[in-house]
Amino acid sequence: MEHLERCARVLRATLVRAAVRRYLPWALAASMLAGSFLKELSPLPESYLSNKRNVLNVYFVKVAWAWTFCLLLPFIALTNYHLTGKAGLVLRRISTLLVGTAIWYVCTAIFSNVEHYTGSCYKSPALEGIRKEHQNKQQCHQEGGFWHGFDISGHSFLLSFCALMIVEEMAVLHEVKTDRSHHLHTAITTLVVALGFLTFIWVCMFLCTAVYFHDLSQKVFGTLFGLLGWYGTYGFWYLKSFSPGLPPQSSSLNLKRDSYKK
């Protein structure tokens, strides 16, 4: 338990800082561009992380929203109820996960449709010989073809969106004070560590996507959707009264407005 406590303290001292929330979006955008230019100008040698079947990609990134949802749900519920004691407010804050689910669903549907309407089925990965009889990606793959369209990076979108959402929700830790002997303290500490490591995985895999996969334009659009999903909610809508609201903290609304003005 002592190791868990130390790890949680380190994460509180880093991820919970206002500067992290303010500059992480810019850091993600800059790293995406830097990684993409590196991929184009001086590609890195293949590694374990460049293999799409690596453990982090298969068991974490492929279900990134499920991991984020399942860990944020108890974290938001416990911390918000501990601070407010109001079930109605807790349910209102939990609805941020429903909003996030809607953003994930709509964006991935858009990406799929863009790839479908801009794509064609080819006989080989070298894009030789169009197979006009196959009009969609699924049919093309079933018949041994290779579908090529404008494939907006779902990884760039989802990993940036999830990382930013976790950091925003962890801001509540500025206000959370619990008795170390209480079960609630153990539960929140465990969730803080889990969410911290999850954020680390999302950022690392975001960087791997930048240096190993997709074209620059595909990653730009994917990252843009992630940043817009985050800013449209935490930077704009959640500041309004008719919204799920921001995590409860002292003068949260004023602090949040000031952070986005700077």
Active site residues: 155, 214
Write the burial class of residue 100 (CB in 10 Å: 0-12 exposed, 13-18 middle, 19+ buried): buried
For residue 195, which of 170, 230, 224 has the smallest C-alpha distance?
170
Write out the two tokens for 196.
């911290």
Question: If you search the block for the tokens 């799929």, which residue do you land on?
Answer: 112
At residue 146, the 3 state secondary structure works out as strand
Instruction: State the Cα–Cα distance between residues 217 and 224, nearest whole angstrom.
Output: 10
Distances (CA, A) of 107 to 46, 94, 120, 181: 30, 21, 21, 43
Instruction: State the Cα–Cα distance between residues 183 and 185, nearest whole angstrom.
Output: 5
Write out the two tokens for 237.
């809508």
Phi then psi dihedrals of residue 188, to 5 deg: -70, -40
* DSSP H/E element including 182: none
Q: Residues 6 or more apart from 235 whose CB is under 8 A from it? A: 260
Instruction: State the Cα–Cα distance between residues 259 and 182, nearest whole angstrom.
Output: 34
